[in-house]
């Protein structure tokens, strides 16, 4: 069967590998139908993802159909449509005992530490699968995983009814966080440097948009919140400057959710954290988000609506990576489809 494997920097090959076999009675073999490409896949391809072990079959955003089941699996049947939860954890470390398995000391992620979804069939423990209605198209179902990232960020930020939320960055994570925050009843202002992304955010429910090339974000937030500043700030850019700005954008008792991986140092002062009693909370992958997100997708409270704007056959994966590399603004979400 076909698999897409990265061997090194910009060295991606379509290879022929044996089809997986059930090994444990709790295993399921999934016939993969669609895989989304994420910024972190691009980083694996570009050789800038420090967490990946090569060679590796990429893909942590994927969906498919149950094709074989181990004899102890009870809750899945052949042909079921499933979304795969890409993370697994030991269940025993401190983070796991604090109900934060997404920060597990022994976290494993499909497509990063273990082979992922860019292959025709994959063996996954049943515990990592979630049902999704057959009525949801594959290209929408595949947004479940990135939507869970937004689900986690908004949960960490305690986004709820009538909260004022500022999202910095209207890329994939920013756009999905906007939709989840709106579904949770918040008021959202979103910023970016690209007008086209802001226009798309406006079409998708943003209450206010700010192009930081034209306007001062702090002034706009001040106006928008009538001086109160934001209850929640989600940094979906992850640059030192955007992180630094979060402390000023947040109002009293505000919550700040930085999403980025940057290890560049940032100079911040303690005073606003003390004075406004701010909470800065990390958000890594997700935990316990698949079920509510999938239900919201099934109920059409979370939709696709143009997020998936690039589709390729898996055999054209090189073209898809080139697009992501050379023209990232053209791709809100690229999805690879298996014929």
Ligand X SMILES: NC(=O)c1ccc[n+]([C@@H]2O[C@H](COP(=O)([O-])OP(=O)(O)OC[C@H]3O[C@@H](n4cnc5c(N)ncnc54)[C@H](O)[C@@H]3O)[C@@H](O)[C@H]2O)c1
Q: Residues interacting with ligand X, by CB under 6 A?
A: 39, 149, 168-174, 191-194, 197, 212, 236-239, 241-242, 259-261, 283-285
Q: Is 89 in the site for Zn ion (CB under 5 A)?
A: yes
| Candidate segments 12-20, 90-98, 152-160, 189-197, binder of Zn ion by CB under 5 A | 90-98
Q: Is 87 in the site for Zn ion (CB under 5 A)?
A: no
Smallest distance from ligand X to CB 21, Å = 32
Smallest distance from ligand X to CB 18, Å = 32
Of 45 and 89, CB closest to Zn ion: 89
Q: Is 104 in the site for Zn ion (CB under 5 A)?
A: yes
Smallest distance from ligand X to CB 206, Å = 13
Residues 6+ apart with CB under 8 A from 121: 1, 19, 20, 29, 30, 31, 32, 67
Rg (CA), the chain: 20
Smallest distance from ligand X to CB 264, Å = 12
Q: Is 215 in the site for Zn ion (CB under 5 A)?
A: no
Give the DSSP H/E element, type plus range, for residue 36: strand 27-37
- Which of Zn ion, ligand X, none binds 102 (CB below 5-8 Å, type-dependent)? none
The three-class DSSP label of residue 332 is coil
Of 7 and 94, CB closest to Zn ion: 94
Rounded to an integer, what is the distance from CA 42 to the centroid of its chain?
Answer: 14
Q: For 119, which DSSP code?
A: B
Report the half-sphere exposure of 57 (CA within 13 A, side-chain side): 24
Alpha helices in the chain (DSSP H): 39-46, 94-97, 138-141, 144-156, 172-183, 195-203, 217-224, 240-249, 271-275, 290-298, 317-326
Of the candidates 187, 180, 125, the residue with the CA atom closest to the CA atom of residue 161: 187
Query: How many chain residues bind Zn ion (CB under 5 A)?
Result: 5
Smallest distance from ligand X to CB 25, Å = 32
| Candidate segments 101-109, 206-214, 216-224, 245-253, binder of Zn ion by CB under 5 A | 101-109
Of 173 and 314, CB closest to ligand X: 173
Q: By CB neighbour count within 10 A (0-12 exposed, 13-18 middle, 19+ buried), where does 241 fall?
A: exposed
Smallest distance from Zn ion to CB 91, Å = 6
Among residues 4, 73, 82, 96, the one that binds Zn ion under rule CB under 5 A = 96
- Which of ligand X, Zn ion, none binds 194 (CB below 5-8 Å, type-dependent)? ligand X
Cβ count near 280 (within 10 Å): 17
Q: Are 209 and 201 spatial neighbours (Cβ–Cβ below 8 Å)?
A: yes
- Which of Zn ion, ligand X, none binds 55 (CB below 5-8 Å, type-dependent)? none
Q: Is 97 in the site for Zn ion (CB under 5 A)?
A: no
Q: Can you give the binding site for Zn ion, defined by CB under 5 A?
A: 89-90, 93, 96, 104
């Amino acid at each position: 069967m076909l698999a897409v494997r990265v061997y090194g920097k910009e060295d991606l090959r379509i290879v022929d590998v044996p089809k997986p076999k059930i090994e444990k009675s709790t295993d399921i073999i999934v016939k993969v139908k669609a895989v989304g490409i994420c910024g972190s896949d691009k980083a694996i391809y570009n050789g800038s993802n420090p967490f990946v072990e090569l060679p590796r079959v990429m893909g942590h955003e994927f969906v498919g159909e149950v094709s074989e089941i181990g004899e102890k699996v009870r809750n899945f049947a052949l042909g079921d449509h499933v979304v795969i939860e890409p993370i697994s954890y030991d269940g025993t470390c401190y983070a796991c005992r604090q109900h934060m398995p997404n920060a597990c000391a022994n976290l494993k992620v499909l497509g990063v530490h273990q082979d992922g979804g860019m292959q025709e069939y994959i063996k996954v423990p049943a515990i990592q699968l979630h049902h999704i209605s057959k009525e949801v198209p594959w290209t929408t179902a595949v947004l479940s995983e990135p939507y869970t990232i937004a689900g986690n960020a908004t949960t960490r930020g305690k986004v709820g009814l009538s909260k004022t939320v500022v999202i910095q960055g209207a890329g994939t994570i920013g756009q999905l966080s906007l939709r989840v925050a709106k579904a949770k009843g918040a008021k959202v202002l979103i910023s970016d440097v690209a007008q086209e992304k802001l226009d798309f955010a406006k079409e998708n429910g943003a209450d206010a948009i700010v192009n930081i090339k034209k306007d001062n974000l702090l002034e706009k937030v001040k106006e928008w919140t009538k001086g109160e500043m934001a209850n929640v700030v989600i940094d979906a850019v992850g640059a030192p400057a955007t992180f630094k700005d979060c402390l000023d954008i947040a109002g009293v008792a505000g919550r700040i959710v930085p999403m980025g991986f940057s290890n560049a140092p940032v100079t911040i002062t303690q005073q606003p954290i003390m004075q406004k009693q701010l909470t800065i909370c990390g958000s890594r992958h997700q935990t316990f988000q698949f079920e509510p997100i999938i239900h919201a997708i099934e109920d059409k409270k979370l939709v696709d609506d143009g997020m998936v704007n690039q589709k390729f056959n898996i055999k054209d994966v090189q073209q898809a990576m080139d697009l992501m590399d050379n023209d990232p603004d053209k791709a809100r979400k690229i999805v690879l489809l298996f014929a």
